[in-house]
Amino acid sequence: MSRKISPFLLLLYILWSTELFAQNLSLTAIGASEKETKTIDSLGYQSVFQNFTSLDLEVKNLHKRLTSIGYIENELIDLKKNNDSSYVANFSLKQKYRSIIVEHRGLVDLSILKLTGYLNKKQQLIIPIENVESTLQSINSEIANRGNPFSSLTLNNITKISKDILSGSLSISDPKSRTIDQLILKGYEKFPKSFVKRYLKIKTGQTFSLEKIKEKTAALNDLVFANQIKDPEVLFTQDSTILYMYIEKARSNTFDGFLGFGTNETTNKIEFDGYLDLNLTNNLNYGESLKLLYKSDENEQQTFDLKLNAPYIFNSPVGVDLNLNIFKRDSSFVTVSQAAKINYQINSKHVVSAGINTVTSTDLLDLSTATITDYKSNQYLINYTFTKRQNYDFLFPLNFVFDISTGFGNRSYENTDERQANFSLNTFKIFNLNDKNSIYTRVSSQYLASDSYLENELPRFGGINSIRGFEENSLVANLYGVLNTEYRYKLNNTIYIHSVIDAAYFENQIANQKEKLFGFGFGFGLLTKAGLFRFNYTSGKTENQKFRLSDSKIHLSLTTRF
């Protein structure tokens, strides 16, 4: 009589049988002595395996690890099977070697060997056994960075010279170094060649090092008119090395203007003021920039400022800065300032410059006063600028700017010559608290040092680009300092709101005036297709004055990039 077996019972039987025969394997490794066994145990090898293949691989790895820590003569005596699931590996560790003296025979530059930290005063390279592999890798990497990317180091003729010291000779394959034979620009073929040579410091004939080239090309992201699309690539042939750089031209021209209005304290009428700021950059594909500023404000003051920057003149390491500034105040005076400087860009962030500035001021009044008169001055200028960008942020692409300059020279008027010195500082920094919150701080100051002062030579400040809440260029001083602060909060990547807290101190020796100023308010910025639109509402006051809404200023500006 036959009996049928339930399929469910059959499945249980198969699973139980599989579990019964799929037993884990265990490994125990021992040495020739108790001390050797402790050394092996200290390596922390794996002891449980699902199959013999993985167990055998762990035994081989254990042999290599013993070799790497100095037991280069260790042997696997045997691998015994105790029972169905247990194996014992018997090792003989023998002598442990502490270090190896590497004979380099001048094959590797000593400056590379010094980087390892194992080159002694006798120019001997003595490497601890456990660090041999990593040290050779670091040497080989540095050789590749210095122009030989296909080099390979090996240790040969390893011999025992004492109880725990070995000796070996270094050999290197493909010792021929490579240089950049050709440079090809992709994407923006008209990228200024002078910037490749002077700004990036990359040129043909230069020893090839891909790591250093990547470090240099990263500076492309600090340029306003160009970006790096992707990392550079290299094509090796039998007798040449071709470097490919991938660059795109960026929109770098900007147009900026603002409209301001407020109530005139005398007439109680609303008055308007504004300015035009045009910046043309790299339109001729030389990296040049032309800046034009025209400003007219409610105090019947007009400013015309033209700046030209031409970097790397005739492919040389120096550039030229030219500046023409004309300032006219109603019918009182007009001042013309001309400056010429030679600049040197140390790297993508640091620039130094030096030059000369000449100023001619003409009194337009029929009756000259003691404080406004014709004068001429000549000064020698020195300037240093540091710039750090954060290109990932479309609203605030500049993170830190530090600009300091000084000038020394003479000023003459009415047959009188006087020595003068001028110091100015303009710096700002954005402290990013997180993705949405940041704090903006700016310090600007200027000091004119002289035995006597004329009203038409004093620095002017006040307005949206100085202390906010005051009329444009309404404040005159021989010494002033302004602190601007904003707490900024991003609603998203295109909108932010901010506070306005400004403070200033100035001195005017002509008027025997020393005063503290404050500005408070709020504003917002909106990134649109047309550009960055900014709105500021601020109110200013002196130290002993109360806030009055009638003195508040509203400033609107739009910065367009094209």
Domains of the chain: 15-92 (3.10.20.310), 99-173 (3.10.20.310), 182-249 (3.10.20), 257-328+372-561 (2.40.160)
Question: What mean pLDDT value characterizes the chain?
Answer: 87
Q: Three-class SS of residue 148? A: coil
What was the pLDDT predicted at 17?
Answer: 44
Token pair listed for 303: 């400013």
Work out the pLDDT band at 262, boundaries 50, 70, 90. low
Q: What local confidence, expressed as pLDDT, does residue 73 receive?
A: 86
Choice between 89 and 392, residue whose per-residue pLDDT is larger: 89
Residue 67 contacts residue 94 (beta carbons within 8 Å)? no
φ/ψ of residue 55, rounded to 5: -65, -45
**Interval 527-559: pLDDT, tens:** 988 888 999 899 988 888 877 766 788 888 888
Quick one: which of 430, 466, 426, 458 has its CA closest to 260? Answer: 466
Q: Report which of 453, 446, 304 is spatially closest to residue 375, judged by C-alpha positions.
A: 453
For 195-352, where are the alpha helices, taking DSSP H only?
210-217
Q: For position 408, what pLDDT does the model report?
A: 96
Among 252-266, 338-352, 541-555, the least confident range: 252-266
Percent helix, strand, coil in the chain, to 5, is 15, 50, 35
Model confidence band, residue 259 (pLDDT cutoffs 50, 70, 90): low
Residue range 8-18: average pLDDT? 48
Q: Report the DSSP pairing between strands 398-413 and 350-363.
A: unpaired
pLDDT higher than threshold 60 for residue 141? yes
Mapping DSSP onto H, E and C, the string for 497-534 reads EEEEEEEEEEEECCCCEEEEEEEEEEEEEEECCCCEEE
The pLDDT assigned to 266 comes to: 64
Percent of the chain with pLDDT strictly greater than 90: 50
Task: Give the pLDDT band (50/70/90) at residue 5.
Answer: low
Query: How many helices, marked H, and strands, marked E, lie in the chain?
Result: 7, 29
Strand partners, 503: 483, 518
State the angle between helix axes of 210-217 and 132-145 in degrees (0 to 180), rounded to the nearest 10: 60
Instruction: Quote the CA–CA distance of 529 and 159 in Å, as a whole number.
Output: 73
Taking CA atoms, 267 is separated from 259, 262, 272, 457, in Å, by 20, 11, 13, 29
CA distance 363 to 376: 12
Instruction: Report d(CA 464, CA 482) in Å as an integer.
Output: 12
The three state secondary structure string of 60-98 is: HHHHHHHHHCCCCCCEEEEEEEEECCEEEEEEECCCCCC
| Whole-number Å distance between alpha carbons of 161 and 181 | 46
What does the pLDDT average to over 362-377? 81
- The H-assigned helical ranges of 242-353 are none
Which tens digit of pLDDT belongs to each residue from 462-499?
888 899 988 888 899 999 999 999 999 999 989 999 99
Phi, psi of 197 (to 5 degrees): -80, -40
Tell me the sheet residues that pair with 475. 461
Cα separation, 448 vs 423, in Å, equals 7
Nearest CA among 176, 220, 188 for reference residue 202: 220
Question: pTM of the entire structure?
Answer: 0.73
Would you say residue 258 has pLDDT above 70? no
Reported confidence tier of residue 369, pLDDT bands at 50, 70, 90: low
Q: State mean pLDDT over 152-169.
A: 86
Average pLDDT rounded to a whole number, residues 59-78: 90
**DSSP code per residue over 225-255:** SEEEEEEEEEEE-SS-EEEEEEEEE----EE
pLDDT band (50, 70, 90) for residue 110: confident
Nearest Cα neighbor of 551 from 300, 265, 272 is 265
Segment among 264-273, 408-417, 432-441, 535-544 with least mean pLDDT: 264-273
One-letter amino acid of 546: K
For residues 156-190, one letter each, b for 16 or more C-beta atoms within 10 angstroms of the residue's C-beta and e for the rest, the string is eeeeeeeeeebebbbbbeeeeebebeebeeeebee
Q: Work out the pLDDT band at 151, boundaries 50, 70, 90.
A: confident
Sign (positive or negative) of CA dihedral 500, 505, 509, 512: positive
pLDDT of residue 562: 84
Q: What is the predicted pLDDT for the residue at 438?
A: 96
Nearest CA-CA partner of 502 in 462, 532, 550: 462
pLDDT for residue 148 is more than 80: no
For residue 15, what are the contacts with CB-CB under 8 A and spacing of at least 6?
none
* Vertex 214 angle, CA 208 and 217, to 5°: 105
